[in-house]
Chain A
Amino acid sequence: MNSSGRGPGLNNLTNSELLGFSILGLSVVVHIIIVNITIGSGWISAMARFLAWIRGAPELEIMSRRVFKILIIHELFSGVWGTVITVILAGFFPTLTAIATDIIFYPILIALAAIFIRIPSIALFWYTWGKVKPSAHCILGFVMAFSGFGVPLGFRFIFAQITYPNAIELAMQGFRELSRVAVFFNPVYLPLIMHTWFGAMSIGGFIVASFFAIKGNVNVKFAWIGLWHGVLFLILQAFMGPWYLVTLGAKAPVLFDNILGAAGSTFNLLPVFATKMAIVASLGFLSVKVWRAVGRGVGQVPRYTLALGPIAVLVALIGEFMNDGGRYPFMVLTGQNGIRATEFMNVYLEMPIYTVVAIIAALVVFIGLFMATAYYALNRRFLADLPDGFAERT
């Protein structure tokens, strides 16, 4: 496998390479954004359900159920894109997929185990509501919430590896068995996973705050709970973000230079990074304003609370775009250089580009339809606040 040096002329990918790189990038960014929402909202829903039981506070149970509806709608959406990623990876980049399934075998196994637990526990948490003991339901809620953290726990090892391929390098030197263990000792991983988890919690909190500021759905207490979650983890992100950036500076100079637009960068992301910082600042400013208005759950929910969730999502979107797209035209970074996407591209067949574009277009249309239906259902309360059958009896 050849590392390519940085320099002019490197960025010329063929149509199918660019298509593969772009579709993969789009899928990853969309998937991760939505996963952030589901992890955060899942945790808040489980906590609210638990507190409702412990404190005998039924309104928190209603909150839990409403927040959980946010998760349900987005989880299906994220699941679809997760599957898209798998197929695109194996179809467009078979060699990279083959490397991942070997060197990163155990982390993927962890992520898979978490998914096995996550999706059934989501369905069970929803469908057993009111049908099993509250204690059992709370346990189910926490299983659901914690399994959400388990998915990036495994998959972020892949991202760490393509940013700082310590294990892949060992494998290329012939130490294949050792490399499968070394993958767990990637120095990029810890700041990356912490940055991911805290980001998810922050986004989940802000989304919940915005959700309870929607007309007809306003609830100051519920919005407050979402807000303090969002703010707390946003503050913690002020430490995690720089930690990750400093780590990149030491271990992945290509990505670091691109983010900061340093000389010799292959993809100048400084304007994007500056935009992200400005948006983070505005998120912080807006949070303070909402915090004052909401007043620990006894004040008013101002209309601009609606903006918190979308802004938080925008921050994550830009961050993930920089983390993934910032390696362009490389797929795997190797210190000062990298391995281009071209190296991993499917060379076994003439890519039926028009068919692939048509399929992706159909997917986008379908998913747009799905999201419209889901949000409409959410807005019109077609997904019942109360368990099935209850509404008809009252």
Chain B
Amino acid sequence: MDADALVQVLLFISALGIYIHAVFLTISLGFPWIIMALMYKWWRTGDRDYYDATRTVTAVLGLNFALGAITGTLVEFGLVQAWPGSIFVIATFGFLPLTLELVAFVGEIIFLIMFIVTLGRTRPVTSTAIMAAYAIMAIFSGAVITTLNSWLNVPWGTANLAENLYPFLPQYGPSSVDVAALVRLKVELVRSSLASGHSSQIIQDPTFARRVGMTLRDPFVAFSSPYAMASILHNVSAAIIVGMSFGLVGYAYRFFKTGNEKYVKIIRSFLPLLLIFLVLQPTVFADSMGKMVAANQPTKFALMEAAQTTTFNPLVSFLAYGDAQHPVAGFDSFKAACESNQGRTIGDLFSHLVPDLDTEPLSSLALTDLCLTDLTKAEAWMSLVNTAYYTKLATGIVALLGLIALISTIFSTGILSKVTNRVLRPLSRKKVVLLLSLLVLLGSVSSAMLGWFVREGGRKPWTVYGLLYPTELVTPVSIDPFVLTLFTLTFVLMAIVGLYGIYIVATKRLRFIELLRKGAGIE
């Protein structure tokens, strides 16, 4: 299997792993808010229903955490196994984010276990504080991982290195790297690819490592990226919304099946929190994310807006640039920018950056050709990214409208409640609550999934935006399709069994009390 074929297969498996992991990580991030809301209500009212619900949600969170940890392991191992070239990134820009993630991971485990074993044995306010500590660690974990992913999207600290190759790109922060080292790495990757069909194996060679040498001067640079900060707020809040929506549908389904109003009471306890996140997400976090994409990833922004040519769209321009008159840069302007390198070769550029470097066989490659070729590859993603982006916006709106309607059904919101009740009158209250909850879940899940696709697909053809391609990072191992299929099926099967386990934990009653009574010597 050549590198291109491997990339096709492994991109799919990596994406599958990330999406499955996302199911569990959203619950890990969303359920603490539900638990804290339930604990608060229990503390204020002393109502046992809230405590019982807390226990059930906690059991689900416990099992879910194990599943999240294991699928996270797949993503982490998958990164180094399937994309060993990424070890270079882990050993440089990703070193501190990943090391800090260890602290977050341990913190999550400590506070979750502490919460589980002390629940009902300490005051509600203490339990709530422990759960808040868990939530902080879970958010911290999400933040540092997002920081690493953000560096792949916007390689902060490489200054104008990518801009030299692609003149339409901006400068990425201050220069925290030894440009010569990165250029040497790139040349060696290309050279190896031409010689053997694969690139990433070169980092196995200690001699090569010494030849590249000291690359990163500031190991903290990934944290100073404004793109990372916007991504953290955007991604973490999206995950919280999806996680809380799973809980919402769970209780709406219970209400639908039993008609017991206590489930509506439970939903009511955390619905306002969900509304706050769902309102903040598009108005603050997504807005800030969009501005960052427009400023730092022009090709991705053009793909999102299907801007083959430069256009004027006052609304988009105002939202993206804060200026309604600002043109939305299209691929025509990028291609024109490529032409500015007319007559120059990679050899010219690299010999300027690293005077003594042997750049063969790259030296004669025209910079304009490279730039135009990559733009063509990026442009091929246009219809997909554009459709995904606008569908994401639509599904996000559906989630928000669904939640507002649900709130006006469950709470008394004056005229809004009257309108909602009138529109949904033909349906029973049980059906309305379930239907609207499903709208919130499906809307938020679709929005999150499509949003992630836009984030990852939009930076193609690069893995490290403007610098490295997937073929340069993919494993040189020609993986046996049978082994790969078996491995993937094992993973998917365990995810399905895990989800079924969550269902059992959340719904089934105990059956073997009598046997255990005997075993415990109680009978």
Contact partners of A83 in chain B: CB under 8 A = 73, 76, 102, 105
Q: A347-B214, A355-B96, A356-B99 are in contact. Are A109 and B516 (CB under 8 A)?
A: no
Contact (Cβ within 8 A) B80 A109: no
A183 to B215, CA, bound (A): 33
Given contacts A61-B515, A87-B98, 12 further A-B contacts (CB under 8 A): A1-B205, A90-B80, A113-B491, A115-B70, A124-B501, A128-B504, A131-B509, A349-B95, A352-B220, A367-B106, A369-B110, A373-B117
Asked if B213 and A347 sit within 8 Å, CB to CB, the answer is yes
Q: A101-B87, A127-B501 are in contact. Are A390 and B63 (CB under 8 A)?
A: no
Could you say which of B322-330, B369-377, B476-484 contacts chain A? B476-484
Per-residue CB contact flags for chain A residues 370-386 toward chain B (1 = under 8 Å, else 0) read: 10011001000011011
Stretch from B159-167, B196-204, B383-391 at the A interface: B196-204
> From B81, which residue of chain A is reached at the shortest CB distance?
A101
Question: Roughly how many angstroms separate A343 CA and B434 CA in the complex, as a whole number?
Answer: 61
Q: Is A348 touching B214 in the complex (CB atoms < 8 A)? A: yes
Question: Is B520 located at the chain interface by the 8 A CB criterion?
Answer: yes
Instruction: Report yes or no: A370 in contact with B206, Cβ–Cβ below 8 A.
Output: no
- Interface positions of A from 102 to 158, Cβ below 8 Å from B: 102, 105-106, 108-109, 112-113, 115-120, 122-124, 127-132, 134
A370 and B219 within 8 A (CB): no
Answer yes or no: A164 CB below 8 A from chain B CBs: no
B67 at interface by CB-CB < 8 Å: yes
Q: In the complex the two chains form, is A388's CB within 8 Å of B99's CB?
A: no
B415 within 8 A of A: no
The stretch that binds B, out of A91-99, A195-203, A261-269, A277-285, is A91-99
Instruction: Let me know if B408 is at the binding interface, CB within 8 A.
Output: no
Chain A hits for B103, CB < 8 A: 359, 362-363, 366
Task: Tell me if A98 and B203 are in contact (CB < 8 A).
Answer: yes
Q: A99-B204, A390-B516 are in contact. Are A108 and B494 (CB under 8 A)?
A: no
Interface residues as binary, B42-64 with A (CB distance below 8 Å gives 1, 0 otherwise): 00000000000001000100110
Q: Which of B101, B102, B200, B479 contacts A98 (CB 8 A)?
A: B200
Contact with A along B62-97 (1 / 0, CB 8 A): 110011011001101100110010011011100110
Interface residues of A in 169-187 (CB under 8 A from B): 176-177, 180
B35 to chain A, nearest CB (A): 15
Q: Across the interface, which residues of A come within 8 angstroms of B213, CB to CB?
A: 347-348
In the complex the two chains form, what is the Cα distance from A99 to B92 in whole Å? 18
- Could you say which of A112, A343, A347 contacts B77, with CB atoms under 8 Å apart? A112
CB atoms of B205 and A131 under 8 A apart: no
Q: Are A91 and B91 in contact (CB under 8 A)?
A: yes
Q: Which residues of B contact A288 (CB under 8 A)?
A: none
Docked complex Cα distance between A24 and B140 (Å): 24
Does A9 make an interface contact (CB < 8 A)? no
Hey, which chain A residues are within 8 Å of B100, CB to CB? 359
B511 to chain A, nearest CB (A): 6
Contact B106 A370 (CB under 8 A): yes
**Cβ-based interface call for A22 (8 A):** no
**Pairwise interchain contact B214-A94, C-beta atoms closer than 8 A:** no
- A349 CB, min distance to chain B CBs, angstroms: 4
Contact status A116-B494, CB under 8 Å:
yes
Could you tell me if A347 and B209 are in contact, using CB atoms closer than 8 angstroms?
Answer: yes
CA distance A367 to B102 in the complex (A): 11
B interface SS class: helix
In the assembly, what is the distance between CA of A113 and CA of B78, in Å? Answer: 12
The residue that B216 contacts in the complex, of A349, A367, A385, with Cβ under 8 A, is A349
Give the 4 A-B CB pairs with smallest separation, nearest first.
A58-B519, A123-B66, A377-B117, A94-B91
Q: Give the interface residue-count category, chain A.
A: 35 or more
Contact of B219 with A349 in the complex, beta carbons under 8 Å: yes
From the candidates A97, A130, A383, name the one contacting B513 in the complex (CB within 8 A): A130
A346 at the interface (CB under 8 A from B): yes
Nearest A residue (CB) for B110: A370
CB-nearest residue of chain A to B107:
A366
Interface contact B215-A124, CB-CB below 8 Å: no
At the interface, yes or no: B505 with Cβ under 8 Å from chain A? Answer: yes
Q: Is the CB of B81 within 8 A of A109?
A: yes
Q: Is the Cβ of A132 less than 8 Å from the Cβ of B84? A: no
| CA distance in complex: A126, B42 (Å) | 27
Interface membership of chain A positions 67-86, coded 1 if the CB is closer than 8 angstroms to chain B and 0 otherwise:
00000000010011011101
From A106, A130, A346, give the contact of B510 (CB < 8 A).
A130
Whole-angstrom CA separation of A293 from B307 in the bound complex: 83
The reply to whether B96 and A90 form a contact with Cβ atoms under 8 Å apart is no
Q: Closest Cβ of chain A: how far from B428's Cβ, in Å?
A: 31
Whether A123 contacts B63 in the complex (CB less than 8 A), given A113-B487, A350-B217, comes out as yes
The residue from A62, A383, A389 contacting B520, defined by CB atoms under 8 A apart: A62
What distance in Å separates the Cβ of A185 from its nearest Cβ neighbour in chain B? 17
The residue in chain B whose Cβ has the minimal distance to the Cβ of A342 is B206
- The yes or no answer to A344 lying at the interface (CB within 8 A) is yes
- Distance of A79 Cα from B112 Cα, bound (Å): 15
Instruction: Answer whether residue A394 sits at the interface, using C-beta atoms and an 8 A cutoff.
Output: yes
Residue of A nearest to B103 (CB): A362
A176 touching B67 by the CB < 8 A rule? no
Query: Which single member of B70, B105, B512 contacts A116 (CB below 8 Å)?
Result: B70
Rounded to whole angstroms, the CA-CA distance of A350 and B177 in the bound complex is 11
Residues of A within 8 A of B92 (CB): 348-349
Contact B215 A349 (CB under 8 A): yes
In the complex, whether A310 has a CB less than 8 A from a CB of chain B is: no
> What chain A residues lie within 8 Å of B69 (beta carbons)?
79, 119
Say whether B5 faces chain A, with CB atoms less than 8 Å apart: no
Asked whether, in the complex, the Cβ of B505 is within 8 Å of the Cβ of A127, the reply is: yes
A26 CB to nearest B CB, Å:
14
Task: Sample 6 A-B pairs with CB under 8 A, ordered by A number.
Answer: A87-B101, A115-B70, A120-B67, A127-B63, A132-B508, A352-B220
Q: How far does the alpha carbon of A80 sit from the alpha carbon of B69 in the complex, in Å?
A: 10
Q: Mark B179-210, 1 if CB is under 8 A from A, else 0.
A: 00100000000000000000011011111011
Q: Are B63 and A348 in contact (CB under 8 A)?
A: no
Q: In the complex the two chains form, is B510's CB within 8 Å of A90's CB?
A: no
B121 at the interface (CB under 8 A from A): yes
Task: Assess the A123–B67 pair: CB atoms within 8 A.
Answer: yes
Q: Across the interface, do B206 and A120 meet the contact criterion of CB distance under 8 Å?
A: no
Q: Which of B90, B96, B98, B201 contacts A94 (CB 8 A)?
A: B90
